[in-house]
Chain A
Amino acid sequence: MTANDKYMEVRAIENGTVIDHIPADALFKIIRIMGLDQDSEHRMTFGANLESKRLGCKAIIKINDRYLEPAEINKIALIAPTAVVNTIRNFEVVEKHAVELPQEVRGFVKCANPACITNHQPVETGFSVMEEDGKILLRCRYCEKITSRFEIK
């Protein structure tokens, strides 16, 4: 355990969620797509540039008194497939699991194809999720094009 990890642990939370093993460059994306930047209700702590044996450099997010919906965990999985979600109750980790790539995502990713109907009409986007060489690829259920560098709405 490094000094940084210890520091993070000092600020352990009583109830809530700890998202650990986030690749350092995914931290701000997660903050944005989960709307944490708009959330003034829950107290939260972000840790960036922490040392990680697995990732080299990792980030961590702690949110007090908030638990994640499966749809939110799916979003995190797309951006940070290495992340681990811990559910904390009364200072104890009661649940801990690695995020899993969903087979299908609906709604929050934008199709990269400018000619896709979802970019012109009020249509909810949908993608099947594939993995190639550790890279996540999304195939649009409408235009059938593959989006690899995706934008989360």
Chain B
Amino acid sequence: MSKRSLISITDLTKEEILRIAELAAYFEEHPYEPLLQGRVIASLFFEPSTRTRLSFESAMNRLGARVIGFSDATNTSVSKGETFHDTIQVISNYCDMIVMRHSLEGAPRYASEFSKVPIVNAGDGANQHPSQTLLDIYSIKKTQGRLDNINIMMVGDLKYGRTVHSLLQALSHFNPTFTFVSPEELQMPREYTMFLDQLGISYTVKREIDEAINEADIVYMTRVQKERYSDPMEYERMKNVYVLKNSMLENVKPTMKILHPLPRVGEIEQEVDANPHAYYFNQTENGVYTRMAIISYLLGVKK
């Protein structure tokens, strides 16, 4: 078996991103494919995340692999003071791959430096969450029929939202046009706009959702968390500016889809759920196929 880890979206080339999206489409057609019969995959959630863990474990099971691991680190040797290094060193002897989530940023990259088996990062603090980005990419490809020349509006917390940063990097291979809608306090960090400037990718910065939404192929909503605001009054004033309502969707492109990494806490009105542009729940289903694609690609059972 090949040994390839996936820690950060920038570990993948454009061709590999496209290949994983193709494989996700394949697994959507073939959702039970026992390519990993007899293999063992460890699912190590040092930090709990039920949604991501179940999506990964569903993908592992659909591929026929056996799953071992833990869903939070409280009752493990980790809580008895064993170093992270030793935990990974030991568990990498038991399995063919480790999928891990950790609250400490950089833990998966560090693990990939000495683990005998590939590491898949299922989220490390505010840093990276590449399977989320790849499922966003697959959702865009599936709903738009292409990845090239996508017009995407990103709304909400663009400063701390790691999903928007990774998606921005992944889409940068495909000549996108961005509209960033956020309060000034939570705007897209300069290192990302500099990155776009260097690549000659165009973007517009806005403070509210306006008619630019009518040009968008994708509207990517994110959560605006109260604790991100230094001033709670400012939060109360701003929170409604970034809420998506049906009335904003009257003149959008017929093919436009709304994505959200979920869970949401009110930034999309409930009434929008029944709108044909809403796609955020289908997006979670795509997550399972995308994770089947990631695991089988990294283990080399599907090239």
CB <8 Å contact, A116 and B83? no
CB <8 Å contact, A117 and B105? yes
CB <8 Å contact, A116 and B106? yes
Secondary structure call for the A interface: loop
**B124: which A residues are within 8 A, CB to CB?**
143
Count: A-B pairs, CB below 8 Å: 50
Judged by a CB distance under 8 angstroms, whether B127 is at the interface is yes
Chain A nearest CB from B165 CB (Å) reads 10
Q: Give Cα distance in the complex from A143 to B108, angstroms.
A: 9
Chain B nearest CB from A120 CB (Å) reads 6
Judged by a CB distance under 8 angstroms, whether B109 is at the interface is yes
Q: Give Cα distance in the complex from A145 to B8, angstroms.
A: 13
Q: A115-B125, A117-B110 are in contact. Are A142 and B84 (CB under 8 A)?
A: no
CB <8 Å contact, A115 and B103? yes
How many chain A residues have a CB neighbour from B under 8 Å?
Answer: 16
**B127: which A residues are within 8 A, CB to CB?**
143-145
Judged by a CB distance under 8 angstroms, whether A70 is at the interface is no
How many chain B residues have a CB neighbour from A under 8 Å?
Answer: 18
CB <8 Å contact, B83 and A115? no
Q: A117-B84, A123-B110 are in contact. Are A144 and B104 (CB under 8 A)?
A: no
**B8: which A residues are within 8 A, CB to CB?**
144
Give 4 nearest A-B pairs by CB, closest first.
A142-B106, A143-B105, A143-B106, A117-B104
Extra 12 A-B pairs, beta carbons < 8 Å, given A115-B126, A122-B83, A143-B106: A115-B104, A116-B106, A117-B106, A120-B104, A121-B110, A122-B85, A141-B109, A142-B107, A143-B125, A143-B127, A144-B127, A145-B127
